[in-house]
Structure 1
Amino acid sequence: MRILFAGTPEVAVPSLRALVDAGFDVAAVLTRIDAPLGRKKVLTPSPVAAAAGELGLPVLKGNLFTPELLEQLSSLDLDAAAIVAYGGIVPPAGLAVPKHGWINLHFSVLPAWRGAAPVQHAVLAGDDVAGATTFRLEEGLDTGPVFGVMTETLEPQATSGEVLERLSHSGAVLLVQTLSGIASGRVEAAPQSGEPSFAPKLGIDDARIDWSEPAVAVRRRINAVTPEPGAWTTLEGQRVKLGPVSPAAGDPAPGDPGGVTGQPEAGGPPAPGALQVVGREVRVGTGTEPVVLGSVQPAGKKMMKALDWARGATRGELVFE
């Protein structure tokens, strides 16, 4: 089967490698144009472009389906196009190019979480299950008929990055199976069923923590935006980045307020946003029970263990805003 592979970020690389290993004839790889990265804004090829170069595959780069790009794709005589997190919309003229259409690997169990950030929204919502779906692209947003689905248990402590890393590999297997089934005529797509939900991209404002929310909501939001765009709060007007948090082991002993403290009463739980060191735990108050900080990155510094950061902090009342 002669295919095009379209993808851009690291999460798409396992699928490209799996298709090559499975013996598919990858006529070309389509990816987004080089992007400026780092403080010096050096133009850098996408992870998919870099992997394609290692594999000796021709690379096409484009953010838009121009007439020139469509002409290039039409000349490839494609049986199908596999697309994984390409980051752009395929127009109707492009959808019609491959004989079997565009087969998309999407990281949710459709019709749940259609959109750009399915795993982040599944974690944010506290779903019990995560997964991946292969479906045929059509003009609607992730609305096309489904070929196959795989699922895994979504553990409460998992971050979006961890879940997506696993799904990138298990989903690659699903994509290979789907394309093999299409090539042999054994697999047919079926319409999606159920009520859809939507997963727009989460931005930096979505990653700010509201300490008045219940502890479970705070933990889910931090996990959902880890590693991107990264959870944050402010302390004395300065932005502080946060790693994942965990539930507090138990209430502090009476009269043991610890070192840094922002609680209303010594020995009581901290108020929302207030910090409290109890033993080797750095706790932060929420709308319900406190959570335990794992790591902290103050402005202008590297990420460090929360306890090391707290020990060096100014003594007295500290409250995340």
Structure 2
Amino acid sequence: MRLIFAGTPEIAVPTLAALEGAGHQIVAVLTQPDAPGKRGRTLHPSPVKEYALARGLDVWTPEKASAPEIVARVKELEVDAAAVVAYGQILRPRLLEAVRLAWVNLHFSVLPTWRGAAPVQRAIMAGDEITGASTFVIEKGLDTGPVIGTLTERIRPTDTAGDLLDRLAGLGAPLMVQSLELLDSGQARPAPQGDDDVSYAEKLSRDDAYVAWELPAHVVDRRVRGCTPAPGAWTTLPDGSVAKLGSVSPRPRRAGTVPGQVRLEEGEVLVGTGTDPVALSTIAPAGKKPMDAAAWWRGARLGEGAQLGEA
């Protein structure tokens, strides 16, 4: 098949690689324009752009993928279909109609659950036990198109959003290959999404990543894991400065304390929650790299009753 691929982050690369590996011709790769890194003004290419250029593929980085000139270029290529994985732009009808078959998206949930920008993160934060991936035909609505194929995957008790996204990216790549090939052969039977079990996964904000210590320990654990690695769970230190947190582990056999109160016990830094305390793994005070929580505690020299989070 002659294909266009549209994607931006690292989790999109396995699908691009799988499509090439299956012998399909990638005639153009769309990805987001180069963007500044976390520090400084230097522009950096997306992981998809880096991979595509290394493979000698034709890379496009339009500010607006549905601009008339991009639509015209797509039509000139006479492609069969387009594969989309975490591209980051809304695709307008005039662009969707510019290929022979369809634009097919790989979405990391079992639709219609968790439509939207952060399905894996929201699934972890909600305490879901099962998630998965879906391929669907893109239409005007947000993740509402008919579904071609799905797979399911268990959410492990220690999965961060990064862990689970990486796993689903690998599992979803062959699903995309199969879905496009079934579509091309006429064997695909895209099924409309039902109206039941619809949920929405809004993009995570900085406020979503704030750890409210008054919540139960298992909810704190889910919030931290769902926000790792981005935007990164955070709290405030006793001096009011911000610190990023690594994973936490509920400690049901340890004595509880005031939510947010921090102490060292048996070599672990424990923080009180609305139920059991949780043990911190790493902490990164503002302007510093993540460090072992016990090492941070020794250096911080906090007094008895020290409190994390807003008073």
Shorter-chain TM-score: what band? over 0.9
Q: Report Cα offsets for 1:208-257 as digits up to 9, x if no partner.
A: 11001111111110000000000000012100110010111622xxxxxx
Q: Which has more radius of gyration?
A: 1
Tell me, yes or no, if the aligned pair for 2:256 and 2:275 is still in contact at 8 Å: no
Aligned residues: 305
- Unmatched runs of 5 consecutive residues or more in structure 2: none
- Unmatched runs of 5 consecutive residues or more in structure 1: 252-267
Q: Distance in 2 between matches of 1:121 and 1:48?
A: 24
Structure 1 runs (4+) deviating above 6 angstroms are none
Matches within 5 A, 1:276-315: 276-315=263-302
Q: Secondary structure at the match of 1:162?
A: helix
Q: Secondary structure at the match of 1:94?
A: helix
Q: Distance in 1 between matches of 2:115 and 2:10?
A: 20
Moved more, 190-199 or 106-115: 190-199
Are 1:48 and 2:39 matched, yes or no?
Answer: no
Match of 1:111 in 2: 112
Matches within 5 A, 1:165-176: 165-176=166-177
Match of 2:143 in 1: 142
Q: Distance in 1 between matches of 2:39 and 2:264?
A: 35
Q: Distance in 2 between matches of 1:181 and 1:101?
A: 12
Amino acid corresponding to residue 115 of structure 1 in structure 2: G
2:242 counterpart (236, 239, 242): 239
- TM, length-normalised to structure 2: 0.96
Q: Secondary structure at the match of 2:101?
A: coil
Tell me, yes or no, if the aligned pair for 1:283 and 1:293 is still in contact at 8 Å: yes
Tell me, yes or no, if the aligned pair for 2:252 and 2:276 is still in contact at 8 Å: no
Match of 1:257 in 2: none
Identity %: 50
Tell me, yes or no, if the aligned pair for 1:5 and 1:26 is still in contact at 8 Å: yes
Tell me, yes or no, if the aligned pair for 1:63 and 1:88 is still in contact at 8 Å: no
Displacement of 1:195: 2.5
Amino acid corresponding to residue 183 of structure 1 in structure 2: D
Match of 1:320 in 2: 308
Match of 2:30 in 1: 30
Q: Distance in 1 between matches of 2:40 and 2:279?
A: 36
- TM, length-normalised to structure 1: 0.93
Q: Report Cα offsets for 1:81-125 as digits up to 9, x if no partner.
A: 100000000001011111111000000000000000000000010
Matches within 5 A, 1:135-284: 135-193=136-194, 194-235=196-237, 236-248=239-251, 250-251=253-254, 268-284=255-271
Q: Secondary structure at the match of 1:205?
A: coil
Q: Distance in 2 between matches of 1:62 and 1:160?
A: 28
Q: Secondary structure at the match of 1:103?
A: strand
